[in-house]
Chains A and B, each alone.
Chain A
Amino acid sequence: MVSTALTQEQQWQGSLEELRGLVSERAMTGETMMLNMGPHHPSTHGVLRLLLELDGEEVVTCLPDIGFLHTGIEKNIESKNYEKAVTLTDRMDYLSPMSNNMAYCMAVEKLVELDVPERAQAIRVIVLELSRIASHLVWLGTHAIDMGAMSVFLYCFREREKILDMFEMLSGQRMMGSYLRPGGVWRDLRPEFLPALESFLAIFPAKIDDYEKLLTHNPLWEDRTQGVGIIEPDVALAWGVSGASLRGSGVNWDIRKAMPYSGYEQYEFNVPLGEHGDVYDRFLVRIHELRESSKIIRQAIDRLPGGLFRSNNRKFVPPPRAELGQSMEAVIHHFKLWTEGFSAPDGEVYVSIESPRGEIGCYLHGTGGNKPRRVHFKTPSFMHIAAIPVMTQNHMIADLVAIIGSVDIVLGDCDR
């Protein structure tokens, strides 16, 4: 049984009655029009359905309808052991798969009290910041193309190709590498990785200047984005907005500074803050974050310590192949970990990190066995889509497109 069991009439007409408390009274009388900005739409950044109540061109109420990409990842992870579940976490926020991996791995490491060596922490920082740059490039490209600036899309994807090539050097896959594992990273850096990274960092600041030259002081861009989609800081906090969207309103909260993880306290970087909380400020915050990420990567490369790339606690981390010929214990650990997997205690932890979109939190509850009882991801896009109606009060549909772009939502992140 493939499609849902609604009758033809119910599917295509819908009923206004069920929306009685949610839309204004004017919709009930027909004074305002209900328009469906459907799941298939070029500007909704994925399969998001927005029910708009329109008074002419102005949006009175906006009701988001999500779930068109709900894949049941959380339930699927309950049937896999801890190491195998990393591959499923890649696919939630598909623009920055390493951040999802990181949240999940940190939760597992906290639950079983697994250490992460210094080199692994530094590699993780490099990979996370590269992933942040890649995600912001897609954001910039799609945001600009929604507003009509088409060449920025091509420039951003050109830079992104270089980053994806670097990810391929690390993990063998361009996007969904599952490179971060509990205890560290999957394998050490290839010899061709650092030169490629150096050459990327050499050209990248000039590219950011290119994007700024095209957009930042462009009168069309400023007209379309300044004063649009304003959200006050206390309203944003109450609605659970986090990350760059919150910093655009002036709230100085960056988890990398507030509760540093993976060695972030060693790196010097600024946290850009906006002032007005409009689309333009959020845009500027993310552009500056691109520069800050390049700075962090530079420091991480200079500081890269030697040593292990993954914890050598053999109760949780499988031994490398070379060791299997030498030691019997290695064989036993290898067998146990690759067939059954390690066990985690019957307790709950919550860990959150700063993904490019905001705060991604992983709630992990173990059973005492080798599979988790429950994994729940609090994803930033989920909270931000709920906050979109607050930002679009009294705006027009064209502004709505700008706002959706500026909040940087990814529907895989929202629906999981």
Chain B
Amino acid sequence: MGVTQKLGNLGVVTTTLETAINWSRTGATWPLLFGLACCAIEYMSTQGGTYDLSRFGMELNRASPRQADLIIVAGRVTRKMAPVLRQLYDQMADPKYVIAMGDCSSCGGVYNNYAVVQGVDEIMPVDVYVAGCPPRPEQLMHGILTLHEKIRGQRIVDWA
């Protein structure tokens, strides 16, 4: 954030800048086009016409992690897939957010066995957990709005 480093702590001006930047970040968090299992189908339903994700600016799913802000881990993460997922997360540029959608990515879900990672927070820090198997589109939208609230609470000084 080169702009804030130049301005420094100018009091009123910095706070307004923070609000503006956070607001613009919530307006268009582009998710990574990433779906693993059943939750991905509910995610696609959320993007469809009936429950529209475009109104949050999220209609554009970026296939490349470098261009995405948000990774919605939709579905069960298995031990074979875990390193791949970690690499995708590492390739994303800051600021990046993670939503663990569904029970399987939050805590391992129905599967408590050798093959499934018990919650994606074993691999990456998660901002919002959305429960459900699979979560209804409205639940996912509530999760996204919670994420927006979290983004609005962020301070710029953390990143510089």
Contact = CB atoms under 8 A, between A and B. Distances in A.
Verify whether A and B have any Cβ pair under 8 Å.
yes
A4 interface: yes
A124 interface: no
A95 B34 CA distance: 17
Given A4-B80, A39-B84, A71-B76, A91 B38 contact: yes
A68 B78 contact: yes
B80 to A, nearest CB: 5
| Size bracket of the A interface | 35 or more
Contacts of B75: 69
Given A76-B113, A412-B38, A70 B50 contact: no
Interface string B60-89: 010100000000000110111111101010
Given A72-B116, A164-B45, A2 B111 contact: no
B113 A40 contact: no
Interface in B1-60: 33-38, 40-42, 44-45, 47-50
A64 interface: no
A207 interface: no
B62 to A, nearest CB: 10
A157 to B, nearest CB: 3
Chain B, interface size: which category? 35 or more
A20 interface: no
Q: Main secondary structure on chain B at its contact with chain A? A: loop
B38 A69 contact: no
B37 A176 contact: no
Nearest to A39: B84
Contacts of B112: 76
A87 B109 CA distance: 12
B93 interface: no
A160 interface: yes
Nearest to A73: B111
Contacts of B37: 46, 69, 91, 94, 411-412
10 contacts: A47-B84, A67-B80, A68-B81, A71-B111, A76-B111, A91-B38, A94-B41, A161-B45, A175-B42, A176-B38
Interface of A: 2-4, 11, 38-42, 46-47, 67-73, 75-76, 87-88, 91, 94-95, 138, 141-142, 153-154, 157-158, 160-161, 164, 174-176, 411-412, 415
